[in-house]
Chain A
């Protein structure tokens, strides 16, 4: 089954490469909860289409359904790159409603949010398996990147031979350490940015065009 699946992916990827002019790449924005994925998705969408993708929040698991923004045309050096971006729920191995009680949430709401967040993780993993051609992996550079989730997801992405761009987000924070992320994943290029402030977005778009164009 695994061999067949890998073969199918390889064929579909080769086909999509052949017809890349016609079919925009579908780029999944992945990462742990509260890394700034939706903030980045909104930044990209607003910069190139004027619309936002979804609401941002400091409460974890605000995004509990994958949201897609299609046919974003990014211009770089006179060329254009068309991508669809998929903002996915934060991936985690544990969801606990008590985490939300600290944010002035009623228990019923917290339990429901927890369940929806869990469904969201399942959905994100499903998208990763079936529906993305490349990954923008967003990390909060003010936190430790050596986690089970990060290691596992990067491993899955690598095993699928998907192009991946690692973004060290939240460089506006005092505790930010881009080098820590570079050290964690030395096999990949790490781009620092602050999606909230819009810092270093030009380099991000350059790399998007380079990796997914």
Chain B
């Protein structure tokens, strides 16, 4: 049950042609794609997931939908790929010169014997705007819009991608970089927080508090001779202070020291 009409909840098998011109029952043109293994029929129209975790699943869903549509548009099965190129070119020619391609190749002639009319049409014809429901955007032949994309994609993005005749493919290729970029944008935040932790400025990294605390504790255990709890409150490791080669001459509010390195510091090595 990969496809479901978001209006009347009617479901369609993967590869079904019934939905290509809209839902036969209600005329709705929005379908959600449900990957294999997720069979719950009563999926809400507005998924409750927060946008951040759902973005990757959105991209996957868009990608699968695009792949499905692409297969449907080009003939539906992988073993027919050798003829897809010819079909595409012939369909292009047909769109320009109506009957020019009739009986051009044996394969095209043989095709109707294995396909019904709808399949042949879906494989070879570009759907005309008139065949789409009235509220459909004219440049968008099939609106396979997983409901969750409404939350994450901006209308301008959809409009831009809809300019292409292969709109869904364009959207899928665009979705992946967008998802990647959102992932990448999260990584610098994380590394930035960790770099803050390494210099001990806790006020900037509330979101990384647990890691920062662990890091500070570890650093304190290993290196600190003076721990600044807050300005004016200090804990001192007397053994560390005693063992230091250098002499702490000034202590700043943020925990930094000014030190005087002994003149013979390098002689010990």
**Residues in chain A within 8 A of chain B (CB atoms):** 1, 4-5, 91-98, 107, 110-111, 114-115, 118-119, 121-123, 125-126, 128-129, 149, 152-153, 156
Contact = CB atoms under 8 A, between A and B. Distances in A.
A32 to B, nearest CB: 11
Interface in B237-255: 237-239, 241-244, 247-251, 253
A122 to B, nearest CB: 4
A102 B156 CA distance: 65
Dominant secondary structure at the B interface: mixed
A119 B236 contact: no
Interface stretch (B109-117, B130-138, B225-233): B225-233
A118 B236 contact: yes
A10 B251 CA distance: 32
A181 to B, nearest CB: 20
Given A1-B268, A95-B233, A126 B241 contact: yes
A126 B261 CA distance: 12
A195 B33 CA distance: 89
Contact of B238 (A107, A114, A115, A152): A152
Contacts of B233: 95-98, 114
Contacts of A91: 238
A92 B242 contact: no
Contacts, number: 74
A96 B234 CA distance: 6
Interface of B: 225-226, 231-239, 241-244, 247-251, 253, 268
Given A5-B268, A114-B234, A118-B251, 11 more contacts: A94-B236, A111-B232, A114-B233, A115-B234, A115-B251, A119-B249, A122-B236, A126-B248, A128-B242, A153-B238, A156-B238
Which of B239, B248, B268 is packed against the most chain A CB atoms within 10 Å?
A: B248
A142 B251 CA distance: 33
A125 B237 CA distance: 10
28 contacts: A4-B268, A93-B237, A93-B238, A94-B235, A95-B233, A96-B233, A97-B232, A107-B232, A111-B231, A114-B233, A118-B236, A118-B251, A119-B249, A121-B236, A122-B226, A122-B236, A122-B247, A123-B247, A123-B249, A125-B238, A126-B241, A126-B244, A126-B247, A129-B242, A149-B238, A152-B238, A156-B238, A156-B239
